[in-house]
Amino acid sequence: MSHDLFEAAKTAMAKAYAPYSKFPVGAALRTEDGRVFTGANVEVASYPEGWCAETTALGHYIMGGGGRIVEIAVIAERMAKCSPCGGCRQRLAEFCRPDTKLYLCDDTGVAETVTMGDMLPYGFRGDNLK
């Protein structure tokens, strides 16, 4: 199934800077008012200093005004249905509800749809700090 958020994530993936892992990843987020933000992974010679596609997208989203995220697409060049790492699940969850859709993509489109609640059950949330 083709999908505009898949296309946005795939276009973002082409901008990945991943010379060490050679594992380009792209991510795209949509807010409830329809804005779309994208990101790609950025690696650094000091390996732990690199960051994920989802995190780049979140930076663009915050600078674009934030809001609630309702859909997310992730694609990796060398892996079908690449899903966000643990750190990115926590970062994404900060701005999502459990019903936010996460589209796991392959080269042709959305391969599986899950929710952020599926991705991070029993997650630690800001509510816990009140």
Give contact residues for ligand DUR (rule: CB under 6 A): 18, 21, 23, 25, 41, 43, 50, 52-54, 74, 82, 84-85, 88
Q: Considering the candidates 7, 54, 71, 112, report the single residue annotated as catalytic.
A: 54
Bridge partners, 103 (sequence order): 73, 113
Written as six digits, the tokens of 60 are: 């663009």
Q: Which listed option, Zn ion, ligand DUR, none, makes contact with residue 39 (CB within 5 to 8 Å by class)? A: none
Task: Give the shortest CB-130-to-ligand DUR separation in angstroms.
Answer: 30
Burial of 65: CB neighbours in 10 Å, binned 0-12, 13-18, 19+: exposed
Determine, following the binding rule CB under 5 A, whether residue 79 of this chain makes contact with Zn ion: no
Cβ proximity to Zn ion: between 1 and 17 the closer is 17
Cβ proximity to Zn ion: between 36 and 39 the closer is 39
Q: Which residues ranging from 40 to 59 are in contact with Zn ion (CB under 5 A)? A: 52
Would strands 96-106 and 69-76 be described as parallel, antiparallel, or unpaired? parallel
Q: Has 77 been annotated as catalytic?
A: no
In the DSSP assignment, the letter for residue 65 is T
Q: Give SS3 for 42.
A: strand
Q: In whole angstroms, what is the distance from residue 110 CA to residue 80 CA?
A: 10
Contact set with Zn ion (CB under 5 A) = 52, 85, 88
Active site residues per annotation:
54
